[in-house]
Structure 1
């Protein structure tokens, strides 16, 4: 399983999120699942991205995100979700135990969205 995890600011556009994904996908094989914080999973932009890509979208609870150590650190992510990177933590959590990042957090050019990609142990 290859999971693209996302973090984004309020007001991020679909283009911002797509740009972050494109940057992260330079380092990884084909994504099979999208993930983000549960409160962000209900955003229209994430729903549109999932529809455009034809991929499932999962929301990760704040409690789970806060338990995951991430290699990068954003003060905004720490303040809002208790983790250094919502994108990295979402990708790792959704890719199941033992997952590893294959693309660390990439930031969209407008700095409104981030994406990281994790690979789980199961295909």
Structure 2
């Protein structure tokens, strides 16, 4: 399973979200078709562009609660004071991806920042 975790400022566009996902995947030599799901923090549950990205890509958007984000925060690679303050994790995108990819998941690298959106890619522990 491969998950794209999304973090963003409020009111981002669908184009911003899709561009960040594409940029993050390209950084690891991956295609959009490699993704199993999108993930984001509960505080972003009403962010329409993230939901629209899931519909556009035909992928589920999984909302991760604060406790699950905190549980995987030690595995994040980036550190945003804004993310820590608002979501209780050093990186919303990285922690969201890790939480949804499951036990033993790993990040392919630090989050990609593209304008107002961050995207991190995680793979499940049972992936080859």
TM-score (norm 2): 0.88
Partner of 2:3: 3
Greater displacement, 50-59 / 40-49: 40-49
Separation in structure 2 between the aligned mates of residue 95 and residue 43 of structure 1, nearest angstrom: 21
Q: Which runs of 5+ in 1 are unaligned?
A: none
Q: In the comparison of the two structures, how many residue pairs are matched?
A: 121
Q: Which residue of 1 aligns with 2:21?
A: 21
- Picking from 122, 125, 128, the partner of 1:121 is 125
CA RMSD of aligned residues (A): 1.4
In 1, the alpha carbon distance for the partners of 2:89 and 2:29 equals 23
Alignment TM-score, normalising by the size of structure 1:
0.91
Q: Are 1:28 and 1:117, in contact at CA under 8 Å, matched by a contact in 2?
A: no
**Structure 2 CA distance for aligned equivalents of residues 54 and 122 of structure 1:** 23
Q: Distance in 1 between matches of 2:95 and 2:78?
A: 10
Separation (CA, whole Å) in 2 of partners of 1:8 and 1:57: 14
Structure 2 gaps of 5+ residues are none
Which structure features the higher share of helix residues? 2
